[in-house]
Amino acid sequence: KGIAYLKAGDYTAAIEALNSALKCADGHVSQTEFDVLKYRGEAETAAGDYDAAIETYSILLDVEKKPEDNYYLRGNVYALKGEIDLAAADFDKLVEAKPNDYAAYCCAYQSLAAAGASDRGKTYLDAALLIKDDRAVANKYRGMVQYLLGEYGNAVAEITAITGEKDAETLICLGMSYEKLGQQESAYNAYTQALNLENENAGVYNQVGLYKMRTGSYGEALDFFKKGLEFSDASTAERLMLNEALACEYNGDFAQALTVLQEYADTYGTNGEIDHELAFLKTR
């Protein structure tokens, strides 16, 4: 039940159900209890209860035999709170435990960048490029790191050096790199390949829709966002629904944009930007 509530975006109910699950453990700790705590930490983070999430991840760091991923999870919450030094301390422990894991370095950067500390986060990207890795997959990860560093030509060079079929994640990164370089046709080709590989991946539909928005094809963008909603979970659905509302607005369908944005606000809540946009749409 807790997982179901979490996937549906009802974080308060998720936390209550997961706490009930923990009570059933009766002091016995197994992998199930670790999983329940991870889901509870995720729900607490999504609900904005950062202190509770930090406490949950601290418990996991104390009791799990291999706690490395929890350093990222707790560090991310510290970053969300704006406690950059504490976040970086956890990320340092993460990459110390996983010195050859590109994803660990990228995740550390993205958390710090989202908190407004991108310069500090770039130290992790620079460190990732020093990994000695002769595997073919290393080109994929180095390409992603170069994209995050803003070195788009280097990103394209790394990814196009991959021999064999590229996965959807790699193709999305390639497409975004081409866009930054102003090579729109190459970007769209990369996105189309990603869509052909994973035609039930909501994130791919969202990315192609965003590309269509950037090129002014709002009607086509709307179709991609709607299609993506057919396959999305709660976190992806939030992004897709907001993008759907924006595509409706830019396409001139203000009434539908208001309907979708109001549904978004009812489901995910509002902020100053959403309230401003709702007020604008009500006047159209």
DSSP per-residue codes, 203-215: HHHHHHHHHHHHT
Determine the pLDDT at residue 8.
82
Please, which residues have CB within 8 angstroms of residue 53's CB and are 6 or more apart in sequence? 41, 44, 45, 73, 74, 77
Tokens of 152: 């788009």
How do residues 133-178 score in pLDDT, each as one tens digit?
888 789 999 999 999 999 999 999 999 999 888 999 999 999 999 9
Question: Measured between alpha carbons, how far is 159 from 138 in angstroms, rounded to an integer?
Answer: 9
Determine the pLDDT at residue 187.
94
Q: pLDDT: is 163 or 240 the higher one?
A: 240
pLDDT reading at 233 higher than 90: no
Q: Which of 105-109, 114-118, 255-259, 272-276 has the lowest mean pLDDT?
A: 272-276
pLDDT reading at 25 higher than 90: no
Give yes or no for a contact between 125 and 106, defined as CB atoms under 8 angstroms apart. Answer: yes
Determine the pLDDT at residue 200.
80
pLDDT reading at 283 higher than 70: yes
Determine the pLDDT at residue 168.
92
How do residues 53-108 score in pLDDT, each as one tens digit?
999 999 999 988 888 899 999 999 999 999 999 999 999 999 999 999 999 999 99
pLDDT reading at 27 higher than 70: no
Across the chain, mean pLDDT equals 93
pLDDT reading at 271 higher than 90: no
Percent of the chain with pLDDT over 70: 99
Question: Measured between alpha carbons, how far is 272 from 50 in angstroms, rounded to an integer?
Answer: 21
pLDDT reading at 222 higher than 70: yes
Determine the pLDDT at residue 31.
84
Question: Measured between alpha carbons, how far is 175 from 202 in angstroms, rounded to an integer?
Answer: 17
- Residue corresponding to tokens 């539908």: 256
Q: Give the residue from 250, 258, 248 showing the smallest Cα distance to 283.
A: 258
Determine the pLDDT at residue 260.
95
pTM of this structure: 0.82
Mean pLDDT of 196-211: 89
pLDDT reading at 234 higher than 80: no
The CB-side HSE value for 193 (13 A sphere, CA atoms) comes to 17
Determine the pLDDT at residue 215.
92
Question: Measured between alpha carbons, how far is 11 from 20 in angstroms, rounded to an integer?
Answer: 14
pLDDT reading at 18 higher than 90: yes
